[in-house]
Structure 1
């Protein structure tokens, strides 16, 4: 009989402990969701919110649970204002940080509108409901320039795993074409690639990797990929096809690659007007040698990937940037200028 009473008592204590754990978790959730510096909640207010979860409590247990949460590292503060109460002080992400991340998600065209809405909601859940409401009032509407490839999340996940595991991937790569009077995707082409890095550049997401037919690093847009799969075959080491050793330096690769076109790495020399100084410094940073020239100009010397992207980038500056070397690049730019003159009837 005594043993049965002890079992019943132990069961009752276990139920009480379980309820206590649930209560303290619910309390922390309520503090995160409903409080901030401008919206504190009193002990009575917190009891009322807990009641909404079907949890009964008294004020004295609120004080005890808050002390326990603070002891665990939660930044719970007390406001002595007219409507005093407890609130969460420092959060993992503050409103300006959530704003920065939300704006980045909204601006990224490779993230679909559906995924943008989901990510934005997750980011705003890191704030109080009051802060989230304010953030929503400043949110952008749907971006018509966003792509509609819902496979992109899976592609990123698969590529990430393949890079970490040193494995090759396969995917079908598509280009946009005009069919009739509407844009469409072509039939696509299958690639098997040794992946080295994911690179976010100019609001697009790219994969840098080696296509097995060549001894170089190629670049592929993630939003153009479909049916991405990780293979069992080991990836080719990037040391065999690039100048990098030990670690594939994605930042350096992106800085030396223009519009993410792959090409041959060459030393170039540019003669630039002083008005382009900020542009050149933004583009090259400290990765090139810069020296003063005459007549309001300076020279830039450095190693970059010579490609179609570099030529397009140079053309936009017209007479403000002159290619000095290599001679093949200078000749290619001259030919492009002649083509442009012919199109516009300039002799």
Structure 2
């Protein structure tokens, strides 16, 4: 049966519509952008009129101007608008909004709760006394003409912090779409209902166009590996690489993330002392925690330092590489290699630096990407390997003919 518009409301930015389908009754809310008419949000469905009213109240529909009411629902809408709100419910609502970092506009709150501005003022004074006991204050911002709770640092995640976390997750592309959305929904309850809708709208395009690098359930692997590390248990899995699959039993040390992929940092169970190497999650199959326990007898390994030396997660013995670098790419050098030192001042636009890395394979990739802006000074072995690679590249381009 065709949906019927029961009530249409507007404010400066949005249009809110309560729709319904009679017999059996189904109600839901649709929120539209007032400027371009695009659908911003559609609520869950309610089967009872009381549920529909609670749904409207969650959107604070009394702060909107009524544009249209379906005639057969006029009296029901009037009764819903005039419904008396218990003072305790009003106080709890204001308390929750302040705690979630929401600004309280006195006139809008008075209109929503259908009381005078003076009563809202008295409510705010009571809340000030309550919050003062926990060293928090409800301040009035004269410039914005709003009340807000101060001294919230460290008490809850702010909107900016939640946005930062979500933007990093969407940019990293390391989790599948369902995992990212699940984290978003767990972070949003730190915000008010109105701010939740705002953040969902802000992140909608990121979620719609999200293309994860790995589609496996990375969070499941993270939980399994972390549990094995805490319980000191050997991990068993099949590792797929270059078309082959080999069984491995390893001692897990830690986890890492790089360039859209999660890694297990571990070493083979029976290998002599060595630093752990990275194993890509997307190549690990049949991961299991075995009953076998392990004991770390070798010196403590600083996993964080090892990760800083592992450009593109390449492994190998620790090395110190000396480079001559154009000043203009120092920023890119630091992004790739956190452990770099600048022992000399710049000369004619060039800087001599020292970089700590694991093996040569990773840094070779970076050096070749920088073309004529980097020169290897030491060790001689790496300088020779770069020279040979450049010679092979030149031979490739000098002999081959471009495709038509």
Is this a same-fold pair by TM over 0.5? yes
Work out whether residues 37 and 79 of structure 1, in 8 Å CA contact, stay in contact via their aligned partners in 2. no
The equivalences for 1:116-265 within 5 A come to 116-139=180-203, 140=206, 141-150=208-217, 152-175=218-241, 188-212=245-269, 214=271, 215-235=274-294, 237=296, 240=298, 245-246=299-300, 248-265=301-318
The reply to whether residue 31 of structure 1 matches residue 106 of structure 2 is no
Q: Which has the higher contact order (CA 8 A, sep 6+)?
A: 1
Q: Which residue of 2 aligns with 1:70?
A: 131
**For residues 268 and 64 of structure 1, do their structure 2 counterparts lie closer, same or farther at Cα, with a shift above 3 Å needed?**
closer
Deviations 1:76-120 (A, max 9, x none): 737699xx9986653601111111011112122220011111111
Displacement over 4 Å in runs of 4+: 22-30, 32-35, 38-48, 62-69, 78-81, 84-89
Question: Equivalents in 2 of 1:65, 1:164: separation in Å?
Answer: 48
Backbone CA RMSD of aligned residues? 3.9
Alpha-carbon distance, 1:67 to partner: 7.6
Please tell me whether the aligned partners of residues 259 and 309 of structure 1 are also in contact (alpha carbons under 8 angstroms).
yes
Q: 1:96 aligns with which of 160, 177, 188?
A: 160
Structure 2: give runs of 5+ residues left out of the alignment: 1-87
Q: Distance in 2 between matches of 1:207 and 1:282?
A: 22
Q: Hey, what's the Cα distance between the residues in 1 that align with 2:111 and 2:146?
A: 9
Against the structure 1 CA distance between its residues 285 and 187, is the aligned structure 2 distance closer, same or farther, given a 3 Å change threshold? closer
Equivalent position SS for 1:125: helix
Q: What is the CA–CA distance in structure 1 between the aligned matches of 2:95 and 2:185, rounded to whole Å?
A: 17
Aligned partner of 1:308 in structure 2 is 361
Aligned-residue offset at 1:235 = 3.2
Q: Report deviation, 1:328.
A: 1.8
CA contact (8 A) 1:35 1:86 kept: no
What CA distance in whole angstroms lies between the structure 1 residues aligned with 2:306 and 2:197? Answer: 41
- Other structure's SS at 2:216 match: coil
Contact kept in structure 2, 1:76 and 1:86, CA below 8 Å: no
Alignment check: 8 A CA contact 2:324 2:374 kept: yes
Query: How many correspondences in the alignment?
Result: 299
- Cα distance in 1, alignment partners of residues 250 and 190 from structure 2: 38
Say whether the 8 Å CA contact 1:291–1:300 is kept in structure 2.
Answer: yes
Q: Which ranges in structure 1 are unaligned for 5 or more consecutive residues?
A: 1-21, 49-58, 178-185
Q: Under a length normalisation based on structure 1, what TM-score does the superposition of the two structures give? A: 0.70
Shift of residue 161 of structure 1?
1.8
Q: How many angstroms apart in 1 are the aligned matches of 2:163 and 2:284?
A: 29
Q: CA deviation at 1:304?
A: 1.9
Distance 1:36 1:74 in 2: 18
Q: Distance in 1 between matches of 2:286 and 2:105?
A: 48
Is 2:266–2:277's contact at 8 Å kept on the other side of the alignment? Answer: yes
Change (3 A) 1:26 1:170: farther
How has the CA–CA distance of structure 1 residues 85 and 341 changed in structure 2, closer, same or farther, with 3 Å as cutoff? Answer: closer
Change (3 A) 1:341 1:25: farther
Structure 2 SS opposite 1:291:
coil
- Inter-partner Cα distance in structure 1 for 2:390 and 2:281: 32
Q: Cα distance, 1:203 vs. partner?
A: 3.6
Q: CA offset at residue 317 of structure 1? A: 1.0
In 2: Cα distance, 1:199 partner to 1:277 partner = 25
User: TM-score when scaled to structure 2?
Assistant: 0.61
Question: How many Å separate the matches in 1 of 2:275 and 2:290?
Answer: 20
Residue deviations 1:222-242, cap 9 Å, x none? Answer: 3433332222323352x73xx
1:326 aligns with 2:383: no
